[in-house]
Structure 1
Amino acid sequence: MLATQTTVYASPLRRVSLALAVTAMASLLQACGTRDGMNTGAIPDDYRTRHPITLNEAEHTIDIPVSSGDSRLTTPAADNIRGFVSSYKGTSTGIVQIQLPSGSPNSAAASRMGKQIRTILTGSGVPAGKIVETVYAAGPQGDAAPIRLSYVAVTAMTGQCGEWPEDLTSNTSKNRNWHNFGCATQNNLAAQIANPMDLVAPRGMTPIDAERRSVVIDGYRNGDNTASAD
């Protein structure tokens, strides 16, 4: 038996229709492959959108424990206060508040410590006019009421983690990350940002090293190798 070959001749109109269909299919496939952020099946699923890093006012505090028998600050406590002042000078120019306990067994000792703390603050570069001393009510029993130092500064931060507003099973069926996904990573990244203004605009360039640049230009003119050493 001889095999027969059938040739189909398409009309010009049919060829145009096929070309349009192929073009439309290619466009659809290209649209499916386009990624805007981290999208899955055209459903927005980007943890940076759910937990954005924003600049907000935040209170920075440090507690200095004081016992009723203390007569002066310990060396580690004084070092902690100096470190606190270093953070303050790098992020704020506002008020530094010294909050002393009142009504607790260590209130008298805390009052003495407050004067020493003020001396350390001014000695570390905090203007005396920026230091405000207040008191707060503390119970006569329980834990030793600490002296609290605080200031307010613009801080890079995210929202609170640990929120589960959706059922995990519904996210699994939609192939989406759960709501809390990426929150801890965003919080850790925000905590590592030394200057929150870096998120707003880049810093200015540092001045050039004119002496080093003259050496390199002279070497280039003399035909020397000016490439950096590995």
Structure 2
Amino acid sequence: MSAHSTTWNSRFLIALALVGSAAFAAGCTQRDSIVVGAIPDDYRTNHPIVVAEKQEKIDIPVGLNDYDMTGVQRAAINGFMARYDGKAAPMVHVMVPYGSANSAAAMRIAGQFIGYMHKAGVPQNRVVQQHYQAPADASAPIRLTYANMRAQVASNCGRWPEDMLARVDNKHWANFGCSYQNNLAAQIANPADLLTPRESTPIDAQNRSNAIDQYQRRQVAPEFIGTSEINY
């Protein structure tokens, strides 16, 4: 065999080895990405925050001999209805106890609740009064409910399908991050911020003029440099 043939065969074998190594590496990379990608280990993926309709509800206690709305009841309604969207105007359900020891007082106070909500901006035709059966020996509350768009966690917290101490794969347990996501969702004042950015507001021309004027006169806040003016 000639030296030329030997050299050609060596180059062919080297090229074949390189192609095989590349294919093997590509196969390993693709296999790993599939395996890892199929097992989500991010609390934001396991417990995503979504914007969906949720029933807001509150139980307001009513005394046996209550004749008028109390300050506690008025404050409770104000806080509860603060999240009511007057433009969407969802239906407000007023659930009044029936058959309880305080049913007469609850019926009287419920009418005052409805009048108070109308004055606060709830349309006349968006309040429905209903009754529910309550124990005869109890002072049952009046329940107010309405549907509202809220940011909330899609899954329920408190799921423990397995012992967290028995895991050896160093992965998050099922309930990991759920309470954090719930707390974060509860702090979002406007759920629409999760859907799209807000539109730009008009500029404050006076504030912009003052800022440019201070910059031109080389003025900064005194708490940052100990004086109200910098001399260049």
- TM > 0.5 fold call: yes
* One-letter amino acid matched to 1:224: R
* One-letter amino acid matched to 2:89: T
Residue in 1 aligned with 2:91? 95
Q: Secondary structure of 1:84's partner? A: helix
Q: Secondary structure of 1:190's partner? A: helix
Question: 2:60 touches 2:73 (CA, 8 Å); kept in 1?
Answer: yes
- CA, structure 1 residues 19+188, in 2 after alignment: closer, same or farther (shift >3 Å)? same
Residue in 1 aligned with 2:230? none
CA-CA distance at 1:12 after TM superposition: 7.0
Query: For each residue in 1:96-151, what CA deviation from the matched residue of structure 2 results, as whole angstroms up to 9, or x when unmatched?
Result: 1111111111111011101211121122221222211111111212x421111110
Residue in 2 aligned with 1:78? 74
Root-mean-square deviation over aligned CA pairs: 3.5
Question: 1:91 touches 1:154 (CA, 8 Å); kept in 2?
Answer: no
* Structure 1 position 215 matched with structure 2 position 210: yes
Residue in 2 aligned with 1:155? 150
Task: Give 2:197's match in structure 1, choosing from 176, 179, 202.
Answer: 202
Q: Give the Cα separation in 1 of the matches to 2:183 and 2:129.
A: 32
Q: Give the Cα separation in 2 of the matches to 1:148 and 1:169.
A: 39
Residue in 1 aligned with 2:128? 132
For structure 2, which runs of at least 5 residues remain unmatched after alignment?
Answer: 1-9, 225-232
Q: Give the Cα separation in 2 of the matches to 1:27 and 1:48.
A: 30
* Structure 1 position 172 matched with structure 2 position 167: yes
Q: Give the Cα separation in 2 of the matches to 1:181 and 1:170.
A: 13
- CA, structure 1 residues 91+144, in 2 after alignment: closer, same or farther (shift >3 Å)? farther
- CA, structure 1 residues 12+48, in 2 after alignment: closer, same or farther (shift >3 Å)? same
* Structure 1 position 47 matched with structure 2 position 40: no
* Structure 1 position 184 matched with structure 2 position 192: no
* Structure 1 position 58 matched with structure 2 position 54: yes
Question: 1:58 touches 1:153 (CA, 8 Å); kept in 2?
Answer: yes
Q: What fraction of aligned residue pairs are identical, expressed as a percent?
A: 41
Q: Secondary structure of 2:208's partner? A: helix
Give the TM-score normalised by the residue count of structure 1: 0.76
Q: Give the Cα separation in 2 of the matches to 1:22 and 1:225.
A: 64
Q: Secondary structure of 2:89's partner? A: coil
Residue in 2 aligned with 1:225? 218
